[in-house]
Structure 1
Amino acid sequence: MARNNQDDGPVKAVSALIVGVIFVVSLVPKEVWITLGILVAVALLAWGTAHVVSETQQRRAAAEARAEVQRKAEVAAAKRAREAAALREKQERVTALGTQNASRVESALAAAMRVAESEAARAGWLGDVDFSADIREITEGFRQARALRDTAGQLSALTKPGPDDRRMVAEATTTAATLERAALERAELIGQCSAEARRIDQTLHERRVDARTAEQRAELHGRLGAMLYGIEAAPGPQPENSAADAVLARVRAYREIESRIHQARES
């Protein structure tokens, strides 16, 4: 019987605790529980919203990072493709025209690009700056000149050249020189256009500088004139009492007193 009472002790304690908790909870007004429920719901909703927003931002950031990597890869690939195409075109030009004439064509292309990018061209001072036809004629002239020289060289290399061979070789050499000279002159003209465009750009720049200087000069003239007018219109500054003047006045008074005392003694 005593053992049963001892076993029932913890059970009774737990039961009493539960009853006490229920009693305390029952004392809390219903409005408080409703408020607590609303607060808990709002907190859960805020947490869920923040979690969703965070996940969305992370996914968006990851997508933007992947897109940026893809964009950089595409830009790099396009750059490599352009460089490869430019190198291939340069090699083909050297093969077709020779090293020197290929360099002349590249110089003409660079000069044409400088003209097109100049301020004078963008402002419309130079009119049509499309040198495509000129570049084609220059390239074709150098190509024909090289082809003539190569063929003439092969003909002159044959054994036992005859008069016709020598005549044709001489004619081919002369024609090649004429074609090359005409192409070179046209390339130099494009270079002159580039130089003139650069001079016009410099003139336009100097005009802008002069305009800004004139504007600043007018502004400074106005400010300085207003300052001078204000100074002239204002009353002149009143002389302040100087300590030096006061001391010198006292010195003169002292000497005058000394002189009178001396005169009185002598009399």
Structure 2
Amino acid sequence: MSGKSSSDGAGAVGLIVFVIVLISLVPKPVWIALGVMVALSVIGWVVYRLVDAAEKRHAEAEERARVERAKQAAAAKREREERVRKDKQRRVDTLGKDNAALVESALTAVKQVAGSEAAREGWLGDVDFSADIKGITDNFEKAHALRGVTSKLSALDKPSADDRKILAEAKSTIASLERAAIERVGLIGKCAKEAQLIDKSLRTEREDARVAEQRAELHGKLAAMLYGIESSPPSTPIDSAVEAVMARVQAYREIKNQIQQAR
């Protein structure tokens, strides 16, 4: 057993000595080159890991920013929708449901006018309807407030002559206020329709101008082609294949005829 251990130890020592000798035989420049290559590989790996980590951090930051922007946009949208809902409800409360719907239609018409090409190109002049909308809203608010009080007065028992008189006056005033406001709403709606008609006319004019330009271009091109054809003398190809073939056909027929006569 001890002999075997001694043999193994001697073999290991011999292997180590062989490796040392082999290493010593390798030239120094080779070791330097190997060291440089290893160092460059390590540096490249480190740089790759750093760049990869930086790119991941950048991508994560962009994703967080995108999510945050989406949240902000969603919050802004909800805020706008809530504001619109509150405005509509406020109009219903202060103007009444029907009158609030009329104001909504007027506001929609105002947006249509402001967004029209006719307005952008200055064909409609000043398109600020804020005074009109305020007048409509004021009239409807007064009418709604009067209607609320008249409803309460009408609900009282044993109406007097004064009750009937003031109620009639209130109803007349309500009708007058609402009639004026409704007429103004109708006029704003008419403005929107007229703006749409002007937009259609402008589109038609552009299309007509485009067609006219194309027609003039084609007329000029066609006239030039016709002039070139008419001014040039008719030309017959010098080496016409048609004439050559027909000549050969005629020659064939003559030869064929001579053969038949010889028979």
Alignment of 1:19-168 (within 5 A): 19-168=17-166
Give the AA of the match of 1:7.
S
Alignment of 1:164-243 (within 5 A): 164-225=162-223, 227-228=225-226, 231=229, 233=232, 236-238=235-237, 240-241=241-242
Partner Cα distance (1:77, 1:123) in 2: 35
Structure 1 pair 164–61 and aligned structure 2 pair: CA distance change class (3 A): same
Query: Root-mean-square deviation (CA), in Å?
Result: 3.0
Q: Structure 2: 5+ residue runs without aligned partners?
A: none
1:201-225 deviation per Cα after TM superposition (whole angstroms, max 9, x unaligned): 2222223323333343344445445
Give the AA of the match of 2:150.
A
Instruction: Name the TM-score, length of structure 1 as normaliser.
Output: 0.83
Partner Cα distance (1:210, 1:49) in 2: 65
- Structure 1 residue 112, shift from structure 2 partner: 0.6
Which has the higher mean CA deviation after the structures are superposed, 123-132 or 39-48? 123-132
- Structure 1 residue 46, shift from structure 2 partner: 1.3
Q: Structure 1: 5+ residue runs without aligned partners?
A: 262-267
Instruction: Name the TM-score, length of structure 2 as normaliser.
Output: 0.84
Which has the higher mean CA deviation after the structures are superposed, 224-233 or 72-81? 224-233
Structure 1 pair 8–248 and aligned structure 2 pair: CA distance change class (3 A): closer
Partner Cα distance (1:145, 1:202) in 2: 38
- Structure 1 residue 110, shift from structure 2 partner: 0.5
Partner Cα distance (2:258, 2:141) in 1: 116
Partner Cα distance (2:93, 2:243) in 1: 95
Give the AA of the match of 1:19.
V
1:265 aligned partner:
none
- Structure 1 residue 161, shift from structure 2 partner: 2.4
Partner Cα distance (2:218, 2:63) in 1: 53
Instruction: Tell me the secondary structure at the aligned position of residue 129 of structure 1.
Output: coil
- Structure 1 residue 128, shift from structure 2 partner: 2.4
